[in-house]
Amino acid sequence: MSTQGVTLKSKEELIEKWSKPEVITGSDVLLRSLLLEGAECVFGYPGGAVLYIYDAMHGFTDFQHLLTRHEQGAIHAADGYARSTGKVGVCIATSGPGATNLVTGIATAYMDSVPLVVITGNVATSFIGTDAFQEADIVGITMPITKHSYLVRKAEDLPRIIHEAFHIANSGRKGPVLIDIPKDVSAEKTLFQPVSEVNLRGYNPTVQPNKMQVDKMLRAIEKAEKPVILAGGGVIYSGAHEELYEFVTKTGIPTTTTLLGLGGFPSGNELHMGMPGMHGTYTANTAIQSADLLINIGARFDDRVTMKLKGFAPHAKVVHIDIDPAEIGKNVPTEIPIVGDVKAVLQLANAGAKRADKADAWRAQVSQWKATKPNKYKDSDVVLKPQWVVSMIHETTKGDAIVTTDVGQHQMWAAQYYPLNKPRSWVTSGGLGTMGFGFPSAIGAQMGNPDRTVVSINGDGGMQMCAQELAICAINNIPVKVAIINNQVLGMVRQWQEIIHENRYSHIDLAGSPDFVKLSEAYGVKAFRASNKEEARSAWLEALEHPGPAVVEFVVRKDENVYPMVTAGSTIGEMLMGDSE
C-alpha cells in the first residue's frame, strides 16, 4: 500500500520543530495543528474555497492525504478509519456542494457516536450571507447532527479550535465536530503558537461513576435468578472489552452484544448468546424476554433492539450504564442508572463482582437454547447461498479480518455468520443505516490498519453508491478485499414487501446493475465472479492471495430471506424463524 513518502513524527518532535514562533497562513496553521493532534491520514476532495489549504499541502509529507472520488467517500473512509483504530477520523471538503455532500456521512457518524473532525471551506467572510457562488450554511445545515460546530473568524483561533475539536470529538459520548473555514481565513497570516490545554466551560462529561449505584448493581446481581447483559458499542468505544470479559467471567451472566457491540465480547465464549433484536438470535431475544435483571452496558436501547417497547424485557429490573445521561430512561424505564465511562464503571464493578449463584439453572437453560435453536439456513449444492458465502469468508480469513459492511440483508448475514472475537474488527452503519457506507469505510479501515486483512461485504445496491472509490484502491494499491453479494434486488426491501406487504413488490429490481467484474477491471482492480461453491471458494482464495485490491461478485438468488426476523409492532419474543420453524 502506497504511503506517498509520509514521514510521521511524534508530537514532541513537532513541538520542538515549531518552538520558535512563526508568522504563517491559516492553512499552514491547520496542517500543523492536525499533525499535533496525531492525524496520520486525511481524506478529502479539493475545491475553490479550500484552495489555500490544498496549496499548503503541496509537497507536504508529514501525513497522507487520500484524494477520494466523492466527498461522501471521503467521510465514510474517515469514519471507517475512526471505528477501526479508535482515533479521530479527519476529512476535508470545499464549500457548497462539497460540504453538503458530507451531510449523510456526518449523520452516520453522529448516530453511531464516531469521533470525526470534519473540515469544510466556506466563501470569504465578506461574502457570507450573500448567496455567493458555492455558499451554503453548513454549520446551520448540520447543527442537529454534529456534537459541536465552529465557524472560524480569525486564523489566530485555529490552533485552539482544532485542539478543542479533537477533544470534543473523542471524549464523553464521541461524535463528529465540524470546523468551517472561510477562504480568507485560510489565507490570513498569523503567529503560530501550539495549544496544549482545553478549557471548555460547561463541557465536562462524567467519566467516574457513582460508587453507590455500582454497588446497587452488584447487589442486584447477587439476587438475580435470570440475569442478562446487553453490551453495546460503548464497550468498544471506551476500550472496555477486557473489563467486560472479566465482569462476565466473574458474574457468569449470559451476554448478548448489539450490532455495534459485536467484537466487544468473544463470540465463541460459552456465555455469548449472539445479537439481539429484529434479526437477533432466538437465544438472545428469548433470554431478554425472560430475564429478571437486564444490565445494559453502553447501548442505547435502539428500536431495532427493543422492537415493540411495551413488552420489551417485561420481567426485568433494568440497569443502564452509559456516558450520556440523556440516554438513560429515554426509551426503557431504568431502576439503576449509572452514568460514566463504561471502562471506568466496569473497573469499579470488577473490584466487587461475584458470581450470580442463583442463576445456575438459568445458565443451563441458555445453553440449551443455544444448542437447540441456533441460527441456521437451508444450504444448497446447486445455488450459492449468501450465508454460506459469509461463513466461507470467515473460515478463509480465520475470523481475523476487519469486516465492513454496507446496509441490508448482507449486513445481517455478516453479523450472524461472521463470528467476531476482537474489538474494532466490525465496521457497519447502525443507527442511520447508510447505503454506500461499506466500501469506502473499508478503505479508511485499511489505511488505519495496513497490516490487517480488511474485507468489505456489500450488496449490489450499496456497492453502486460509492463504486467510484475503486479508483483510489487501484491508484494507491489499497488491498481491500470486496465481496459483493449480488441478488439483483434491493433485498431487505424485497423481504419486507414479501412478509409484510403480501408479495407486492414495488420498485426493487436492480437487474440493470453493471457487470461488477468489468466495472472493477475498468478501474484497474482485479475481479472475479462466482455462482457456485467451487467457484466461490476458488475465487475468494485467489482474491485473498492477490497483493492488491480485489473484488469478488457472488451471484445468489433474490428470494433468500434473513431469519430470525421480528416484524414491526411485535415484541422480540415473537420471532419468525424461517427455515427452522
Pairwise CA distance, residues 323 & 341, whole Å: 5
Phi, psi of 576 (to 5 degrees): -90, 120
Q: Verify whether residue 392 is a known catalytic residue.
A: no
Q: What is the largest CA-CA distance in the chain?
A: 73
Choosing from 37, 40, 71, 469, the catalytic residue is 71
Other CB atoms within a 10 A radius of the CB of residue 381 amount to 10
Query: Which strands, in side-by-side order, build the sheet including 116-122?
Result: 64-67, 41-45, 89-93, 116-122, 176-182, 148-151
* Contact assessment for residue 293 and residue 313, using Cβ atoms and an 8 Å cutoff: no
Pairwise CA distance, residues 218 & 56, whole Å: 56
* Contact assessment for residue 3 and residue 64, using Cβ atoms and an 8 Å cutoff: yes
Choosing from 57, 492, 565, 575, the catalytic residue is 492
Q: Residue 376: helix, strand or coil by DSSP?
A: coil
Q: Residue 519: helix, strand or coil by DSSP?
A: helix
Amino acid at 316: A
Contacts of 201 (CB under 8 A, 6+ apart): none
Report which DSSP code applies to 44: E
**Alpha-carbon separation of residue 562 from 303, 382, 581 (angstroms):** 18, 20, 13
For residue 26 the three cell numbers come to: 491559516
Phi, psi of 328 (to 5 degrees): -80, 120
What DSSP line would sit under 54-86, residue for residue?
A: HHHHTT--SSEEEE-SSHHHHHHHHHHHHHHHS
For residue 390 the three cell numbers come to: 459469509
Bridge partners, 469 (sequence order): none
For residue 32 the three cell numbers come to: 500543523
Q: Verify whether residue 1 is a known catalytic residue.
A: no
Q: Verify whether residue 133 is a known catalytic residue.
A: yes
Choosing from 133, 143, 154, 376, the catalytic residue is 133
Q: Verify whether residue 11 is a known catalytic residue.
A: no
For residue 575 the three cell numbers come to: 420471532
Q: Verify whether residue 134 is a known catalytic residue.
A: yes
Q: Residue 356: helix, strand or coil by DSSP?
A: coil
Choosing from 22, 134, 497, 558, the catalytic residue is 134
Choosing from 174, 183, 317, 370, the catalytic residue is 183
Pairwise CA distance, residues 85 & 326, whole Å: 27
Pairwise CA distance, residues 436 & 466, whole Å: 5
Annotated active-site positions, please?
A: 71, 133-134, 183, 492
